[in-house]
Structures are given as C-alpha cells and as structure tokens.
Structure 1
Amino acid sequence: MSAAVTDPWARTDSGSVRTLEGINPLAKLAAPLPAMILLVFVRDLATPLAFIAVAYVVVLLGARLTARVALLLFVALPAAALVIGASMSLWTDPARVGGAVLTHVGSWTLTSGALAVGSATGLRLAAIVALTLIAGLTTTGPDLVRASVQQLRVPYRVGYTALAAFRFVPRFGHELDVIRQAHRVRGSHGGRGPFAAIARWWGYLVPLLAGAIRHAERVALSMDARAFGAHPDRTERHLVPWRRRDTVFVVVFWLVSGAILIALFPWTV
C-alpha cells in the first residue's frame, strides 16, 4: 500500500487563512518595492528601523507565526544585521567618517562615525530583507506565476513552464527520500566519514537523475496532450484576481512609507 504524496503547492481551503495570504502576490511585491529601492540610498539609523518595525507588524499580523518564521524574524535576521553592522564598522576607514575614538588596537581604530556607518548598513540590509518577507512568507511560487500570467500578461508558455519547474522541487525531495530509504533497506549505507558521504551521494545521483528525466518526459507528454502552446490564450483553473483590498493594501503601504520618509527625511545634509 503506497503512502499518499501531498502537494505542498496545492491550495488549502481552510478557515485559518491569514490576511496576507488573501492578498494578490503582485500587490505584496508592489507595496514594499518603492521603500526597498529608496532604502538603498538612505544613510541614517532611524529610517531602516522604522521600516523594519512596519515590516514586522505586517508580517506578525498577516502571516502564520510558525517556529521557523519566529526563528527567522527574532534570531536570524537580527543576528545577520548585527554581524554585517559590526563587519562594516571594522572595515570603514575612520579617517573618512570621523567621530570620537571608541577603541584603539595597534594601528586599528574604531570611531563612533565608523560604528554609525556600519550600523546603518546592517540595518538598511535588514530592512530590505524584512520588507521582502512580506511577500516571501505568504506567497507560493505557483500563485506568483498565476498572478503574473493573469495580471501582468506574462506569456503562459513562460509562466506555466516556471510553474512546472516549481513543482519539480518537492518531487525531487520525495524521490530523494525514497532512494535513501531503499539504500538503507539494502544496507548500502557506505560507512562513516566524508568519503563515505560522497559515495552515498554519488549513489543517490544516478537514480535521482533517472527519475527526473522520466518525470520531465511525462510532463512534456502531458503538455502535448493538452495542446500546450497551440493557442494564444489558456483557460485558468485557479484564478488569482486583483481585488479592491489589493489596491487598498498597496496604497496604504505607500502612504505609510511616504509618511516615514517625509517625517525622517534621511537625505538631510
């Protein structure tokens, strides 16, 4: 009896759909995009912090807070910002930024100006990443492809080829798990150590590639059977419409972003 294989990209019509999951993927990309572009050119600390706060509020209110998401938001992203900020502080030439001397080790000097520049860089990158999480944590690849085909008029030959590629990824993971289990059943674990690991992965590679080729052939035959590419347009099974709430989300986010930039105006000399 074979176990049922679930499709991780399939839609689930459950009642626990959060706010952001009901927003069009293109709206979730368009809303933070101007802020992400302008953040490249800011140099202060307050503006990135404000956008990080906005992104966190939107994600926490509109996305599912799983353990992995919490780890990303509250551990990985702050740690990355801290490491980048510290690294940039060490690499910044204190002669160019000035400031009070904070510490001095040999010929190396850390000034308050260098620390401010490094911290601003780390926060700026963290803010950009946090804004991308608005769409990244609540959007699936297939929905983004469907929205691009339906709203941006991306040719469906390109879009649904990308959709088929998205569906290859979980299938590869499942087939790799099956191959590993088959190797364990046969006792061909290969021992321990790095060379044994390389040998094991080499043993996984050939059947995985063979399965990928077979699956690609089946997908190609399925597309041919459905006359894929024979007509200029295709009917859609899953619609991803642009609703009024998508427009409201984009406009409100733009207004909030504009208010932050006007209030802080990070380009003041």
Structure 2
Amino acid sequence: MTGMPVSVATAPTPVDPFATPVAAPSHFLHHLNPLTKIAAVVPAMVLLAFTRDLDTPLAFIALSYLLLLTGARLSRGVVALLFLAVPAGVALLTFGFSIWIDDTLVSDTPAVLRIGDWVLYEGALAIGLATALRLCAILALALIGGLTTNGPDLVRAAVQQLHVPYRVGYTALAAYRFVPRFGYELSVIRAAHRVRGAGGRWGGRGPIARLMRGWGYIVPLLASGIRHAERVALSMDARAFGAHPTRTERHLVPWRARDTVFLVALLTASAALFTLTWPWLAA
C-alpha cells in the first residue's frame, strides 16, 4: 500500500547520568568557560586576604550575590545557603574571632558585653566582623564558579585551554565519577542488608547503631569499588588511553568571545571596587 505512513521504531537515546541539566539562556554563568570564572575572581580573592576594612568585602559580597541571582540556576538548597547559612556563619565567625582579640589592643573602645571579669569590646567585635566578612567575600566569589561549573567541564577546559596532559586530566575525571558510583553502590548494599536482616543487635537507631552498621558496609563497598575500577581500567585500555601524546576531544569546551567579555568586565569591576574603597588607605 502506498501513501500510508510507516512507523519506524527507534532506540531510545541513552541518557548520561553525569550530565547536568541544560541551563536557560538567562543563566549566563552556566554557559561560560570554567576557566573564565576562575580567572575572573582569583585576583580579587587574593587581594581580599590583605584587606582589613568592612566596605571592601561588603562590596564584593554584593557583587557576587548580584551575579549569582541574575546569572545562575539556583535551587532551594542554594538559596538557603546564600541567605541563611552564610549570614549565620558570618555571625558565628564574628563572635568567635572577637573573643580571641587581645583586650589591650581594643581597651579604649566601648564595652559591648560583660560577663564577670570578661569584657567584649566594640573594637574586638569590629575586627571579628571584618575578618568574617573577608572570609565570606572570598567564599561568595568562589561560589560564582563553584555553583555554575561541573567537574567534567573543568577538566576538559584544563586539558583543552591550559594544555594539561590528558593522562592527568581524564584520570582525575574518572576518579571524580567514582563519587556518584560509590553512592549508588552504598544504597544497594544498605538495601541488601535490610532485606537479609543483617546488623543483628545493631539494627536499632542512634549514632552508635549507625556507626556499627557502617562497619558492615566497608568490605562490600571496597569490593564493589575494586570491581568498578577494574572495569574502568579495562575500558580505558580498550580505547588506547595513554598510547598517544594527544587525543581527539569528544566534548569541546571552547573559549568564546563572551568569556573574554565577562573576564574583562569582572576584572574591571573588581579594580573599580578596590579603587573606590581603597582598603590600604590607613597603611
């Protein structure tokens, strides 16, 4: 019969379990070369380590948050990290650093808290806050690349742009992919132990029971890891890994014009912030 549509069965496209979701065009940070995001923030991170004021780290925290909120794909956990965990960490670090300050250095400032003979001075609190904000600013800059880059793309970019030997880069990539594999194997071992009623008297709840059950996972997890390592080694040998000085790249992570624009723009913004605040004026 002619003119009748013919259906052709096609095999389902295999899904890479290590692939990250495709980011929307508005999430521009995910589309940048990983090396761009590292090179753009490292100079500011290094200089922030030598600042002592409050304005400079606050400015870089605001800049980092602005980039993350406008250019990154943020989950609920990441939002909680940015707006709950980070402020709580700053408060904790501020108090922790302030109690280690020598009282003789800040005794001329007003007292904020008194507990018996112990006194917390305003100067100590200011030094602790400056230190905490400095660490927070460095962390916020690191999150620009850390939240928008995956390990495989970073390795591929290092091999392609920095000319890191592929024997080193892809060996690190293979090791990186062991992490989710171990998580899956651990879940299978736990399920098998529960089905077989393994654990004996340590089958209850509590930290001690969890610790004792964990000892029972070590041997099967090591055995599973060795088997997986052998399979990976055989697959790499079958593909002649290490036989030639270079290899053809399957996944390219190019350096585009937008990478250069982002790098220049962020370095310029960092220089402008340091110029406006000039944290070394007192020195």
TM class, shorter-length: over 0.9
Structure 2 contact 68–144 (Cα < 8 Å) conserved = yes
Structure 2 contact 26–71 (Cα < 8 Å) conserved = no
How many residues are matched? 265
- 2:275 and 2:26 map into 1 onto residues whose CA distance is 34
Tell me the alpha carbon deviations over residues 53-96 of structure 1, each in whole angstroms, 9 at most, x when there is no partner.
Answer: 00001011111121110111001111111100111111111311
- 1:28 and 1:181 map into 2 onto residues whose CA distance is 41
Change in CA separation of 1:17 and 1:211 when aligned onto 2, cut-off 3 Å: farther
Tell me the alpha carbon deviations over residues 177-220 of structure 1, each in whole angstroms, 9 at most, x when there is no partner.
Answer: 11111112112254214443233212211111111000100111
- 2:94 and 2:23 map into 1 onto residues whose CA distance is 42
- 1:15 and 1:41 map into 2 onto residues whose CA distance is 37
State the partner residue of 2:250: 237
My pick for the range that moved more, 16-25 or 187-196, is: 187-196
Moved segments of 4+, more than 4 Å:
5-8, 11-17
Tell me the alpha carbon deviations over residues 212-258 of structure 1, each in whole angstroms, 9 at most, x when there is no partner.
Answer: 00010011111111111110000101000011101111110011111
State the partner residue of 2:50: 41
Secondary structure, aligned partner of 1:32: helix
State the partner residue of 1:66: 75
TM (norm. structure 1) is: 0.94
Change in CA separation of 1:46 and 1:88 when aligned onto 2, cut-off 3 Å: same
Among 112, 117, 129, the alignment partner of 1:119 is: 129
Does residue 248 (structure 1) correspond to residue 275 (structure 2)? The answer is no
State the partner residue of 1:258: 271
- 2:129 and 2:264 map into 1 onto residues whose CA distance is 30
Secondary structure, aligned partner of 2:112: strand
Among 81, 90, 93, the alignment partner of 2:99 is: 90
- 2:45 and 2:262 map into 1 onto residues whose CA distance is 16
Q: Which amino acid aligns with 2:160?
A: Q
Secondary structure, aligned partner of 1:127: helix
TM (norm. structure 2) is: 0.89
Name the % identity: 61
Among 218, 222, 228, the alignment partner of 1:205 is: 218
Q: Point out where structure 2 has 5 or more consecutive residues left out of the alignment.
A: 1-13
Q: Which amino acid aligns with 1:173?
A: G
Change in CA separation of 1:252 and 1:54 when aligned onto 2, cut-off 3 Å: same
Change in CA separation of 1:88 and 1:12 when aligned onto 2, cut-off 3 Å: closer
Does residue 157 (structure 1) correspond to residue 167 (structure 2)? The answer is yes
Q: Point out where structure 1 has 5 or more consecutive residues left out of the alignment.
A: none
- 2:21 and 2:87 map into 1 onto residues whose CA distance is 32
Among 60, 70, 80, the alignment partner of 2:89 is: 80
Among 148, 155, 169, the alignment partner of 1:145 is: 155
- 1:17 and 1:46 map into 2 onto residues whose CA distance is 30
- Residues 167-186 of structure 1 correspond to what in structure 2 (within 5 A)? 167-186=177-196
Q: Which amino acid aligns with 1:51?
A: F
Q: Which amino acid aligns with 1:85?
A: T
* Aligned-residue CA RMSD (Å): 1.7
Structure 2 contact 23–30 (Cα < 8 Å) conserved = no
